[in-house]
Structure 1
Amino acid sequence: MSGDPKAAALRALHQGRAADDPLVLPGPWDVAGARVFEAAGFPALATPSAGVAASLGYEDGATPAAEMFAAVTRIARAVSVPVTADLEGGYGLPAAELVERVREAGAVGVNLEDTGPDRALRDPEAHAEWLAEVRAAAGPDLFVNARVDVYIRGVPEPAEAAVTRSLLYAAAGADCVYPIAAPPADLPVLRAALGDLPLNVLAVPGGPSFAELGRLGATRITFGDGLLLRSLDDLASLAARLRDGGTPGA
């Protein structure tokens, strides 16, 4: 049993959901955004590594670990809802140290990808062993979302590879799997193969509704840096109006 109420709350949010009611987790990249999402009524938040990187002036994947943990800490301390943090591939940290730093940051969930520092897929068995070490170090007070990168790495027959890796990571202790960029057409196949294992799906502009993604198999929906990009588009429009002599409300 989890001893952390936020960890228990985050875990419970993934269970017993209706097919057309997936868990929607917006991704704040700073404190101001986190507070807006909390005020809107979202029960948990999921920081996006790419969004945090952009907000700090780094390319995706280039944020120093200390700065990423500092950003997560600021967000987690600013809200009362559970926060799960995208920590990329774990920054080369040993499992126990990674878990301790997550705890210090105040997050109760992590997103850990199977792409290595060389931007190539890690060996799945080796990655599963590391996830098992994370699970052992964390106990139940950390919700582990294992990102599966086969779709973004050009793997042949990615649905089959996603299932193989997902089941391996689940057996190692992952609570949820995230085959990022899986197309909607593959979701029923993934859901059928994964059984009751929670499935994280990336929402994209112009894609199916949240309810439809849920009916296709999604348990949980996140956005990567999509919400940041939408916000930047809105900011660019505002900047253009100001430049041309308009007012912010025009």
Structure 2
Amino acid sequence: MAAAPAANRLKRVAGGAQRLLKNAFEPGSVESSGKEPFSRELAKEIDHFARQRRTSVSLKDILTHFSKDSTDLKKQLVVSAEFLRNELPVRLAHRIAELENLPYGLSGKPQVAKVQSWYTKSFQDLRSFPAVKDASDDVAFTDLLQDIHHRHRNVVPTMAMGIAALKRDLPSGMSMDRLYDVHEFLDSFYMSRIGIRMLIGQHIELHRPPRENYIGMISTNCSPVQVAEDAIYLGR
């Protein structure tokens, strides 16, 4: 069952990248649409990264790389920063392209266009940042990550307003409950957001004073059973 949503997501990404290329403007031309314009150069760059596969990163990978026995955290942070400098544009490009190709006119909602503009600005910031080669580069890159983390803080409520606008514009008799492809997109979009913010937040947290039983923002004493039991208790 998971294959179908994944295939649909890839179709939305590919279709969105093609739309960006089709609607991009050449330098010096006049852009009259209500959406923030994409230059052809930017559209090509987004298309290039949207065609790449994201790198899967597990909690085990993170904990292994930044273990308690780390002897040279600064070197590990430089490696992590350079990885994120290359990985985050791929993940952001996927979302930028997908946001361009949503059904029922959702891509045209001002709130969705606003979210896309945040992702695009972050993509451009990351692409313009030079290679991270040493600790001073990592500090500057971490400052950029903090800016991106802050920029994306209102993505969830802004997307919710876009969905509310779509709901208001639906023809009489059409229910949001039946727009399965929209729900599928939202599930995928928010899962991607969690992954992006996890990668960014972990790198930022590793620059702060260490906390007992934590590696960055990850608790080494976390009990999934206890978390589930707490959720059940709070949900009563």
Give the TM-score category using the shorter length.
under 0.3
Q: Which has the larger radius of gyration?
A: 2
More strand by share: 1
The TM-score normalised by the length of structure 2 is 0.26
The TM-score normalised by the length of structure 1 is 0.25
